[in-house]
Chains A and B, each alone.
Chain A
Amino acid sequence: MKITTRPITLTINGKKQGPLDIAEGMMMIDFLNEYVNLTGSRLGCGQGVCHACVVIEDQPDGSSHETRTCITGAHYFDGKAIRTVEGHATINDKGEEVPSPVQQAFMDHYSFQCGYCTPGFVNAATVFIEGLKRNPIARDELEEAILKAMNNHICRCTGYVRYYEAVRDLVLKTPGLIRETKNG
């Protein structure tokens, strides 16, 4: 059996990767885990249901959205820019790793236990908060918006409420995400 390969070049967490010859039909999760040693994105169901494998797909217009890597071929990302869970923390002056505000909020709220779903939740919450920076919403729309943004992600440990509360608290304490409205 002959495996057909095609080259792929893309930007991951701001760094150019490739060109790498990758088997046609390989799923992106395998590419991340096996070819570029980014093992933070998790293969859960392998069927696009649990969302543990989502990465952030950044668009040229500055917007971004989640994409499931277990059901999306690596070659789909050729020429595109993505962020994975490894790309959120920053390094401070002392050379220490500083979690992103979303990551810090999840830790502060004990949002996860086993952590398998966490990379997906970090990406989902980051996309959500970046979206609010571009388009703030009214305070009374917040709860529903969080639910809509995070609802597809499955967690079997903490019952979602701690993820939910972490995102709500972070949104409320971050200036500029909530529009001023008459009723609150």
Chain B
Amino acid sequence: MAKRRFLPALFLIVVVLLIIVAVLWWRENRSNDNPVQKVSATDEQIARGRYAARAADCAACHTVEGGGLFAGGFPMETPFGTVHGSNITPSADYGIGRWTREDFHRAVREGITPGGRHLYPAMPYNSYYMMSDQDLDDIYAYLMTRPAIDVPTPQNDLPFPFNQRFLMIGWNLLFQNKDPLPAVSSGDSELWVRGRYLTDVMGHCAECHTPRGMFGQMDLAQSLKGGTLGRFKAADITPSGLAERGWTPGDLGQFLATGTAPQGSAFSEMHMVVALSTQYLTKEDMTAMTTYLMGDKPPPPKVAQLTPGGDKGRAQYLNLCAGCHGVSGEGKPNVAPAMAGNATIRQGDATNLIASILDGLPEQAFPGNSNMQSMPGFARKLNDQQMAELVNYTRTTWGGLPGDITAAQIDALREH
């Protein structure tokens, strides 16, 4: 008898669950047929919007190389699959042409688009949620007055279940930020406050520079202490982490404005950040950002305790590196950055140093008509032992770090 009563109840539960899933699926996938928005704005507001959109680095993900500005398509590799930046031009069918001001505010701050469709947190709404009404209105006015580009956003490449957007409802319940990100430095000056907004909200620096947990959420207890999303690790950019590698607020400002500094040149995704975003910050905003990153009372840059490197490593360096980086690691302008004082060499975790030697780096242009040449990869030219000797030579000679990298650590980073 009990079984007879149990079965219909189970059936009912299953039906209700299926209906819920169907409704959620429908909400995520229905089309938006709201009226196309006509937005007009003054030149002044458009200029403000362009500045804010650059400070928020919208173009990085919403523009693909060779594609139209903001027409989407940039593939962001995540541990869960590839997510593509969407078309945010005013295209009615492919972009945000039907979005109202309120729709735009909600999408940027909460990651929910008109109709209830959830964005993946690759869209940094967990940083943008504190964005001011003024900045959002200005960016909206700027975007909506750009030419509409009618190209669809490429399909994301996410396996089941991650391709089910309604799962983000649960993710948001667990991880959506309601409070400002924890301050990484101390200060209360006007510049510091502005810098905190530029860094944590607009620049969304924490998205790459903070370690992430199992579900891809930022581990805010370790805000800006370094992230591990891609092949290269985003460095620790807390005041102590920066000072540890020899950064000063002045050098940091130079780096963010021009992509190069005595501590090295921007590479990988940070090169994009400089090219599309930070180079456009006003001098005052740049000072604000570096004031926040290093605090109102910045710690003094650490002086590295250098020790001579081993002969074998020195031989590898002279054979393969000195031609561009100089016999004494002095570098060559517009060719290769200096090794002496290089912040990447001074990173305790040698991942970035090893990966750049293994893979090489592409040629890069920097603001102000300067550039760095492409660096060849040496994966084929050096075996694990030789590369460990080379890495350890640079770490002790210029990094003030122990030469403790093993051949096994090199092997682990090879792309087999």
Q: Give chain A's interface residues, CB within 8 Å of chain B.
A: 24-25, 27, 47-49, 65, 67-68, 70-73, 75-76
Contacts and interface: CB of A to CB of B under 8 A. Distances in A.
Contact of B318 (A65, A68, A75): A75
B196 to A, nearest CB: 42
B373 interface: yes
A27 B373 contact: no
Interface stretch (B228-236, B242-250, B321-329, B400-408): B321-329
A25 to B, nearest CB: 5
B119 to A, nearest CB: 37
Contacts of A68: 376
A65 B380 contact: yes
Interface of B: 315, 318-320, 322-324, 327, 332, 335, 373, 376, 380-381
Contacts of B318: 24-25, 73, 75
Contact of B322 (A25, A48, A49, A65): A25
A34 to B, nearest CB: 16
Nearest to B363: A49
Contacts of A25: 318, 322, 327
Nearest to B332: A47
Nearest to B380: A65
B322 A73 contact: yes
B376 A73 contact: no
Contacts of A73: 318-320, 322-323
A72 to B, nearest CB: 6
Nearest to A59: B380
A48 B319 contact: no
Given A65-B380, A75-B315, A47 B335 contact: yes
Nearest to A29: B323
A73 B322 CA distance: 8
Contacts of A71: 323-324
Given A65-B380, A75-B315, A47 B324 contact: yes
A107 to B, nearest CB: 31
Contacts of B332: 47
A94 to B, nearest CB: 41
22 contacts: A24-B318, A25-B322, A25-B327, A27-B323, A47-B323, A47-B335, A48-B324, A48-B373, A49-B373, A67-B381, A71-B324, A72-B319, A72-B320, A72-B323, A73-B318, A73-B319, A73-B322, A73-B323, A75-B315, A75-B319, A76-B320, A76-B381
B279 to A, nearest CB: 25
A150 to B, nearest CB: 16
A47 B322 CA distance: 11
B328 to A, nearest CB: 10
Nearest 9 A/B pairs, CB to CB: A71-B323, A76-B319, A73-B319, A25-B318, A73-B318, A47-B335, A25-B327, A75-B319, A71-B324
Contacts of B324: 47-48, 71
Contacts of B381: 67, 76
Contacts of B323: 27, 47-48, 70-73
A67 B335 CA distance: 18
A27 B323 CA distance: 7
Contacts of B319: 72-73, 75-76
Contacts of B335: 47
A158 to B, nearest CB: 24
Contacts of A65: 380
B351 to A, nearest CB: 25
Nearest to B316: A76
Given A25-B327, A75-B315, A48 B320 contact: no
B376 to A, nearest CB: 7
Contacts of A70: 323
A121 B91 CA distance: 48
A73 B321 CA distance: 9
